Structure 1
Amino acid sequence: MNLPSNATLPSQLPTGSGPSADAASRKMRRRILWILLCIVLACAVVVGYALVYRERMPTAIGDRVEDLTGANAHPVKLLRPPVAPLSAAAVLGRDLFNDPSLSASGKQSCASCHSAARAFGPPNDLSVQLGGPHMTDEGYRPAPSLAYLYRQAPFSIGPDQGETDTAPVSLDVLASAVQGVQRAQKNAGVAPAAPAMVPQGGFFWDGRASTLQDQAIGPLTDPVEMANPNVAAVADKLMHSKYIGMIEQLFGTRVVSDPNLLVSEAMFAIGRYQFEDPAFHRFSSKYDAWLEGHARLTQTELRGLRLFNDKDKANCAGCHLSQPTSDGLPPLFTDTQYEALGVPRNHELVRNKDSKFYDMGICGPFRTDMAKDTQYCGMFLTPTLRNAASRGTFFHNGVYHNLKQVMDFYNLRNTSPEKIYPHDAAGKVLVYDDLPEKYHSNVDVADAPFDRKFGDKPAMTDEDINDIIAFMKTLDDGYGSVRK
């Protein structure tokens, strides 16, 4: 750099003698040092802010740091189910789904407990719905959402399906192989083989139905739901309904002579309705739009997404899978597996007034074929979290009614159980009080956030929980229009 001949550099400070020269020299040095200090401090602030902000920035899929604007830096194309006019069978199924005349009370249809306005879940915030012949009987469990079941496989026991392409071995063989193992670990994938086997698939909280058709049949004869005394009574209602002509046309005249076949075919139609109608699998949430690059998440939502996926913190994605499949299928936010969580007993339920009654999921009492497989006692199906923010009851016994309560349970169950469970007369905390003590070892204590011990710092702060809930609200369907 060329400077004028009279320019003064730090090494060329005035050389004259006397107080004025010394003062000028000191003043110049102080000024230069001050400027350099300001530059260093400014750089430190910028670098520090960047590091802190990056630490708080959520990752989307994997470990990528996302766009600071909230956009997905790596958008994908989601492969949604094709949209086509409903088949004749699905149209019939839609009519049957919404018809209360098939119930003993004449007031309850499938849609009564599976409201389209609430993502085909309960229409209210009651722990369980009312039904029975006079609509006064309390249901056994909260009605699960019927949305996003189109990819649900039949119930099976085997390795995590994401880790193997082999067909599952028969249920009896696998159940026998793991008998005596008290907790069938999820996602273990390591020896010994028996604990690595996990229950997965199926319908209802305990997986006892194999298809949507089987699930539709169940409530028809449940004494606290549609309350028909038997299948023959349902068949009689169908024979005298306006649908019988369409049923004969679709399934043949032989159905009218076989009550079991008649009901089975009618429920097949309901299953087709649930499979074909896009309303059951809309994939129209803000998160779907964000995955495809059509929406931006707020910084709060992005932080919630990061925590949701963090294996050492909330670890929600350990069971509620948040990533599209390798071939572009949208995430269902469930691994369709079963878990014993040890949620507290809902003492408001009538059946729980009996201290000897326990709902133990896979091993009973409503499912009877696996009663001897006690390593699964307390395990229930992991539901989808899509539209969970608009749901008013959670878990198999409806003990919680908002996401804050649910998150507090996950966060405090092990570290501060006194805040989750009741106490006995002596003040002892009754942990896992909705499961017989001999099955307590089935409850998950290995996966975060349940890997914390009593007195440990919880995995999440209140701010973390608020961020996660903010993210979960992005899973509600109906966010604008998703571009195709």
Structure 2
Amino acid sequence: MLPVLSSAAATTVAAPAGGPAAVPELAQHCPPGFELRADNGCYLRSFYRDLPSLQNAGVGGPQTGLPALREGFSPQQIDLGRLLFFDPLLSADHTIACASCHQPHLGFADGRGRSVGIGGQVVSRSAPSLWNVGLLKRFFWDGRATSLEQQAVGPLFAADEMGNSPARLQTDLNGTPAYVALFRQVFDTDTIALEQVYLALAAFQSSLISLNSRYDLYAQGFEEALTPAETEGMNIFRSFVARCAECHTPPLFTNQQIAVLGTPEPEGLTLDIGAEGPSGDPSQRGGFKVPSLRNITLTAPYMHSGRFATLREAVEFYNKGRGHAVPEGEKLSLHWHIWEPQLEARELDRLVDFLGALTDEGFKPAIPAAVPSGLPVPVLSHSKSEQQ
């Protein structure tokens, strides 16, 4: 059964001219795809929940269940997180928001090989997509965070990203009457604590669900949902020759593990040590978290530093042979799935066709027309109808 749509967007009241921002009315209903239960919690509705776990279903098949989801957040927590996500008040100079690097119309990425933070600083890696992050177990390209709350702390206080400090952020939020009123509604407190901010952001991000692509219709038995070219590409994707599904495992299209691929860096950049940094494990040198392929057509360029401009270039990399791009002098512990499949050009094209069938933005949240700080919303949607 497909998820039932429900209204999730709160009506945000614009700030009066020359005065403080008005207090928005928070949503009373769950986001689309979620149902509201008696505990005022939002819980995902998806046919995948009726399917067996990966351990019982095999690798690569469409009839595989989901991992555990962070859920049970209230509609008000989720909507408060949405407002925080789009509010530049969270950055040190009030110029960028979380959404600056995670833009809804770009697959919750930003279309850059390496993201740009406060003061125009170019950071070392690209912004990962946030679709389905509530189903993930580790975060950042190097997998250093194990919760969405930990993930929020990184960009907020990194000097080259949002550049803020805990003390300044707490002062700014508590000095904003609209936020004080909203946090009082949601958390029954007169003083905003940073842990509440992190939780609200986690609540919003956990609601970003994308599980209704044409591939998902196929997985439910509607074989005509895929074109012949996409079906051929799916069979190549799942084959023991290409072996894509062994790391990009349905239905999330990631196994959530760290993999050392030997991906080349953009010209002029030295090797990014990846997961070796937080882990201290030399075998993870150059290793990065296997990303989900959901909405992958929206998040170019590809890899941790945007090395490949197109999906065709990305799939071709895996076909060029094990370790072909490893810098001279580096001895990386390449993942055992990286080998030489020797796919034909036509087969690579079919893989790209199939990846296009993983696109689903049906539950994309509304971009607020105004935020509680009264500051300008830095990210504008392609469509005015998305703003509420």
Instruction: Give the TM-score of the pair, scaled to structure 1.
Output: 0.58
Q: Which residue of 1 aligns with 2:30?
A: none
SS where residue 347 of structure 2 aligns?
helix
SS where residue 442 of structure 1 aligns?
coil
- Aligned-partner Cα distance in 1 for 2:239–2:64: 24
Asked if the contact 1:78–1:292 (Cα under 8 Å) also holds between the matched residues in 2, the reply is: no
Tell me by how many angstroms 1:320 deviates. Answer: 0.5
Q: Which residue of 2 aligns with 1:421?
A: none
Q: Which residue of 2 aligns with 1:363?
A: 276
CA separation of 1:465 and 1:244: change in aligned 2, threshold 3 A: same
Q: Which residue of 2 aligns with 1:442?
A: 333
Q: Which residue of 2 aligns with 1:116?
A: 104
- Aligned-partner Cα distance in 2 for 1:302–1:108: 41
Q: Is the counterpart of residue 403 in structure 1 residue 311 in structure 2?
A: yes
Q: Which residue of 1 aligns with 2:18?
A: none
Asked if the contact 2:70–2:134 (Cα under 8 Å) also holds between the matched residues in 1, the reply is: no
- Aligned-partner Cα distance in 2 for 1:142–1:77: 30
Asked if the contact 1:308–1:315 (Cα under 8 Å) also holds between the matched residues in 2, the reply is: yes
Q: Give the residue type in structure 1 aligned to 2:255.
A: D
Q: Which residue of 2 aligns with 1:290?
A: 218
Q: Is the counterpart of residue 235 in structure 1 residue 170 in structure 2?
A: yes
2:80 to 73, 86, 92: 92
- Aligned-partner Cα distance in 1 for 2:140–2:221: 35
CA separation of 1:432 and 1:285: change in aligned 2, threshold 3 A: same
Tell me by how many angstroms 1:82 deviates. Answer: 12
SS where residue 92 of structure 1 aligns?
helix
- Aligned-partner Cα distance in 2 for 1:380–1:63: 21
Q: Is the counterpart of residue 265 in structure 1 residue 196 in structure 2?
A: yes
Q: Give the residue type in structure 1 aligned to 2:252.
A: L
Tell me by how many angstroms 1:79 deviates. Answer: 7.6
Tell me by how many angstroms 1:88 deviates. Answer: 1.5
Asked if the contact 2:260–2:334 (Cα under 8 Å) also holds between the matched residues in 1, the reply is: yes
SS where residue 339 of structure 1 aligns?
strand
Q: Which residue of 1 aligns with 2:160?
A: 224
Q: Which has the higher contact order (CA 8 A, sep 6+)?
A: 2
Per-residue CA deviations over 1:368-422 (Å, capped at 9, x if unaligned) read: xx22x2122111100000111222121112111111110111101439x4xxxxx
2:91 to 59, 82, 103: 103
Q: Which residue of 2 aligns with 1:338?
A: 258
Q: Give the residue type in structure 1 aligned to 2:89.
A: S
The structure that has the greater radius of gyration is 1
Tell me by how many angstroms 1:337 deviates. Answer: 0.5
CA separation of 1:479 and 1:299: change in aligned 2, threshold 3 A: farther
Asked if the contact 1:76–1:293 (Cα under 8 Å) also holds between the matched residues in 2, the reply is: no
2:350 to 452, 467, 482: 467
- Aligned-partner Cα distance in 2 for 1:77–1:441: 33
Q: Is the counterpart of residue 139 in structure 1 residue 70 in structure 2?
A: no
Aligned residues: 304
Q: Give the residue type in structure 2 aligned to 1:143.
A: A
Tell me by how many angstroms 1:288 deviates. Answer: 0.4
- Aligned-partner Cα distance in 2 for 1:389–1:88: 32
Q: Give the residue type in structure 2 aligned to 1:297.
A: L
CA separation of 1:479 and 1:77: change in aligned 2, threshold 3 A: farther
Write 1 or 2 for the structure with the bigger share of helix: 1
Q: Which residue of 1 aligns with 2:300?
A: 392
What is the root-mean-square deviation in Å for CA atoms of aligned residues?
3.0
- Aligned-partner Cα distance in 1 for 2:73–2:286: 42
Tell me by how many angstroms 1:221 deviates. Answer: 1.1
CA separation of 1:63 and 1:339: change in aligned 2, threshold 3 A: closer
Q: Is the counterpart of residue 376 in structure 1 residue 284 in structure 2?
A: yes
Q: Is the counterpart of residue 208 in structure 1 residue 124 in structure 2?
A: no
Q: Which residue of 2 aligns with 1:38?
A: none
Per-residue CA deviations over 1:320-343 (Å, capped at 9, x if unaligned) read: 113xxxxxxxx1000000100011
- Unmatched segments (≥5 aa) in structure 2: 1-56, 364-388
Tell me by how many angstroms 1:441 deviates. Answer: 3.7
Asked if the contact 2:81–2:197 (Cα under 8 Å) also holds between the matched residues in 1, the reply is: yes
- Unmatched segments (≥5 aa) in structure 1: 1-60, 65-73, 154-201, 257-261, 323-330, 418-430, 453-457
- Aligned-partner Cα distance in 2 for 1:248–1:343: 48
1:451 to 339, 353, 358: 339
Asked if the contact 2:213–2:358 (Cα under 8 Å) also holds between the matched residues in 1, the reply is: yes
